[in-house]
């Protein structure tokens, strides 16, 4: 595994995932959060949260990239292999997160399902970026 390439690809994937999550959570499904008091934030608190969203996305991107690079020979060449990796990783992360929402009282069930779908989509796209940026050594 080439650590420099893995970290670089992970930062690229994390940045793309951050944009995808902003579009999905903020624009596509943003209305879902309006009626839920637990999700309503004061505008002043959002500035720092935006920074943390980026930091977390980059951290997840690099972590996923190291896992992808370590198992690169198991995946198809190019974007398709990365997409398969990302979808499977998204399902694992999403189902884990989905279970956690079941132990929170009055957590909106439809939000948990939406988050699962967003995780699969977001990590699928991030995995596609990894597949393009981290080439397989055949």
Per domain, the residue ranges of the chain are 3-133
Q: Does 60 have pLDDT greater than 80?
A: yes
Q: Does 37 have pLDDT greater than 90?
A: no
Instruction: Identify how many contiguous H helices and E strands the chain contains and give both numbers.
Output: 5, 0
Mean model confidence pLDDT for the chain: 90
Q: Does 87 have pLDDT greater than 80?
A: yes
Which helix H or strand E contains 65, and what residues bound it?
helix 43-70
45-49, 108-112, 115-119: which is most confident: 115-119
- Who has greater pLDDT, 21 or 103? 21
Residues near 7 by Cβ (< 8 Å), separated by ≥ 6?
A: 62, 65, 66
Q: What is the percentage of the chain residues whose pLDDT exceeds 70?
A: 99
Residues near 28 by Cβ (< 8 Å), separated by ≥ 6?
A: none
Q: What are residue 102's phi and psi, to 5 degrees? A: -75, -20
Q: What are residue 134's phi and psi, to 5 degrees? A: -110, 95
> What is the distance between the alpha carbons of residues 74 and 112, in angstroms, rounded to a whole number?
31
Q: What is the percentage of the chain residues whose pLDDT exceeds 90?
A: 64
Neighbours of 107 (CB within 10 A): 13
Which helix H or strand E contains 59, and what residues bound it?
helix 43-70
- pLDDT at site 138: 60
């Amino acid at each position: 595994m080439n650590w420099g390439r893995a970290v670089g690809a992970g930062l690229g994937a994390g940045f793309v995932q951050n944009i995808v999550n902003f579009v999905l959570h903020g624009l596509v499904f943003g209305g879902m959060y309006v009626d839920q008091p637990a999700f309503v934030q004061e505008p002043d608190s959002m500035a720092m949260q935006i920074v943390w969203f980026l930091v977390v996305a980059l951290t997840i991107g690099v972590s996923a990239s190291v896992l992808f690079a370590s198992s690169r020979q198991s995946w198809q060449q190019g974007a398709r292999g990365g997409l398969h990796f990302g979808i499977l990783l998204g399902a694992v992360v999403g189902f884990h997160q989905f279970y956690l929402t079941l132990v929170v009282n009055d957590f909106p069930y439809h939000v948990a399902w939406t988050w699962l779908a967003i995780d699969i989509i977001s990590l699928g796209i991030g995995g596609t970026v990894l597949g393009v940026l981290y080439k397989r050594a055949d």
